[in-house]
């Protein structure tokens, strides 16, 4: 392979960049390459996504349709398709597909491996394949590489380049975007790293090259495990301090004034999103292969997954003080998204709370301006199609209690607290009041 020629084609923006998986990671990345002047191609098995792009419409709330229309729909140098045979038209292939857990909390690499199987027959000599999906160390070389080589009759490092560069997408972050977040890159070999570095440096502000793919895979897991463990700690402290009648939010604000040695983390009803609830278990699973029990990570996972049950307990207590049982109570969940001001409901703890409330016989509705209808999912498919109620319906005539599960900025939670008998606040967004209970 002529590595210098490949690098030159990227630097000259002659290389077509293909993104596989047009979700919360892939679509922003596709836009960045298109904005930078590259010819781009988007691939997804979901035809509704490619069709909406063809009509200039965004299906992700924080990405404006105007950007889709300008850089993709009306751009003659771009196309989005479900036809994977057009992979032959690309110089670079970036895989941005989900890596969830199975029902037994084992890594589910099916999306990655199926993608590898789909692109392998069309893989061309001189192309670079980069995996962005979060996964355990060794996935790129031990799992993806054999699939690509078997289906293409090409050899990685000899006929095509292979790299790993973990996504660091944070939907709707006002301070950082895809282009302004430093990016870790690891290659199968020196040439793969050189091509991957040329590729990402064209659109990302700063690159962090590491010695190999395994190190890059481990770095992403460390980032998310760090957050998982610290969130578990503050969730546990919330339970302790609440029992002591101490406001955890006031404690955090006071501690955060220390200018060194402390980083604030915030409690909630559990973990949500595409990374933190899932990624730590990729490492605990892989660690067992080496005979190592990652007890600290597993304990953090236990604490965080127990938080929805704690919210139910606090709700029961609040209702009990008003002389009401949970069974038959009318409850509205304020927020379906896993974090505020986004439309991303993946792994949202609201679903776990919803499930438990129904098991206890409560009557449950939800309000979320960012998630007007529950989308189909394999975890909570029975909720698909349920619609958000309007904010005007959230009043004492319709509900006995509101549980604040997300804390969107465009909801006046204090106003809701004034017109409802009880509010259970899991996000610390309500002004303290007799009818407001922390959870």
Q: Indicate whether 274 pLDDT > 80.
A: no
pLDDT at 165: 98
Topology alike, domains 3-211 and 228-438: yes
> Which residues, listed in sequence order, are joined to residue 78 by a DSSP beta bridge?
40
Residue 205 among the catalytic residues: no
Number of C-alpha atoms within 13 angstroms, CB side, residue 284? 21
pLDDT at 439: 94
Q: Indicate whether 380 pLDDT > 90.
A: no
Pure H helices in 61-129? 65-68, 110-119
- For domain 3-211, give the fold: Rossmann fold (3.40.50)
pLDDT at 262: 97
Backbone angles phi, psi at 275, to 5 degrees: -125, -65
> Tell me: the pLDDT tens digits for 324-369?
999 999 999 999 999 999 999 989 999 999 999 999 999 999 999 9
So where are the chain's domains?
3-211, 228-438
Binned at pLDDT 50, 70 and 90, residue 89 comes out as: very high
> Tell me: the pLDDT tens digits for 211-227?
999 999 999 999 999 99
- The span from the CA of 80 to the CA of 74, in Å, is 12
Q: Indicate whether 276 pLDDT > 90.
A: no
Task: Strands of 151-298 (E only): list them.
Answer: 161-164, 183-187, 207-210
- The span from the CA of 205 to the CA of 151, in Å, is 35
Concatenated DSSP letters of 41-68: EEE-S-HHHHHHHHTT--SSTTS-HHHH
pLDDT at 104: 82
Q: What is the mean pLDDT of residues 49-69?
A: 95
Q: Which CATH class is domain 228-438?
A: alpha beta
Helix or strand run (H / E) with residue 94:
strand 92-95
- pTM of the model as a whole: 0.92
> Tell me: the pLDDT tens digits for 346-356?
899 999 999 99
Q: What is the mean pLDDT of residues 247-256?
A: 97
Catalytic residue among 80, 96, 275, 430: 275
pLDDT at 4: 95
- Write out the two tokens for 100: 């969830």
Sheet containing 363-367: give its strands across. Answer: 363-367, 330-334, 401-404, 422-425, 436-438
């Amino acid at each position: 392979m002529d590595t210098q020629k490949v690098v030159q084609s990227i630097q000259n923006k002659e290389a077509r960049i293909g993104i596989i998986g047009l979700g919360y990671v892939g679509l922003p990345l596709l836009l960045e390459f298109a904005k930078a002047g590259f010819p781009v191609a988007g691939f997804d098995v979901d035809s509704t996504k490619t069709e909406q792009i063809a009509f200039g419409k965004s299906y992700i709330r924080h990405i404006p349709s105007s950007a889709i229309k300008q850089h993709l729909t009306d751009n003659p140098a771009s196309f989005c398709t479900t036809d994977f045979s057009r992979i032959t038209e690309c110089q670079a292939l970036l895989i941005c597909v989900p890596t969830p857990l199975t029902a037994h909390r084992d890594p589910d690499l099916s999306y990655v491996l199926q993608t590898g199987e789909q692109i392998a027959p069309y893989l061309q000599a001189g192309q670079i394949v980069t995996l962005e999906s979060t996964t355990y160390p060794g996935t790129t070389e031990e799992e993806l590489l054999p699939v690509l080589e078997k289906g293409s009759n090409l050899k990685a490092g000899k006929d095509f380049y292979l790299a790993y560069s973990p996504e660091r997408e944070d939907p709707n972050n006002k301070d950082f975007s895809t282009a302004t977040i430093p990016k870790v890159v690891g290659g199968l070999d020196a040439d793969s790293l050189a091509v991957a570095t040329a590729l990402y440096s064209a659109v990302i502000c700063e690159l962090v090259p590491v010695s190999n793919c395994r190190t890059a895979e481990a770095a992403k897991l460390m980032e998310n495990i760090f957050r998982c463990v610290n969130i578990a700690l503050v969730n546990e402290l919330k339970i302790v301090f609440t029992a002591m009648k101490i406001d955890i939010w006031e404690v955090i604000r006071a501690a955060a004034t220390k200018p060194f040695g402390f980083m604030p983390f915030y409690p909630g009803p559990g973990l949500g999103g595409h990374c933190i609830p899932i990624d730590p278990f990729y490492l605990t699973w892989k660690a067992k292969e080496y005979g190592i029990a990652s007890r600290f990570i597993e304990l953090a996972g236990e604490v965080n997954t127990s938080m929805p049950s704690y919210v139910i307990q606090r709700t029961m207590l609040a209702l009990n003080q008003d002389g009401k049982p949970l069974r038959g109570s009318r409850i509205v969940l304020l927020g379906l998204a896993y974090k505020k001001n986004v439309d991303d409901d993946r792994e949202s703890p609201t679903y776990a709370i919803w499930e438990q409330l129904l098991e206890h016989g409560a009557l449950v509705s939800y309000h979320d301006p960012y998630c007007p209808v529950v989308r189909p999912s394999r975890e909570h498919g029975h909720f698909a199609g349920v619609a958000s109620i309007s904010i005007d319906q959230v009043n004492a005539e319709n509900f006995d209690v509101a549980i604040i599960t997300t804390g969107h900025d465009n909801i006046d939670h204090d106003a809701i607290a004034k017109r409802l008998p009880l509010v259970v606040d899991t996000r610390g967004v309500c002004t303290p009041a007799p009818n407001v209970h922390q959870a």
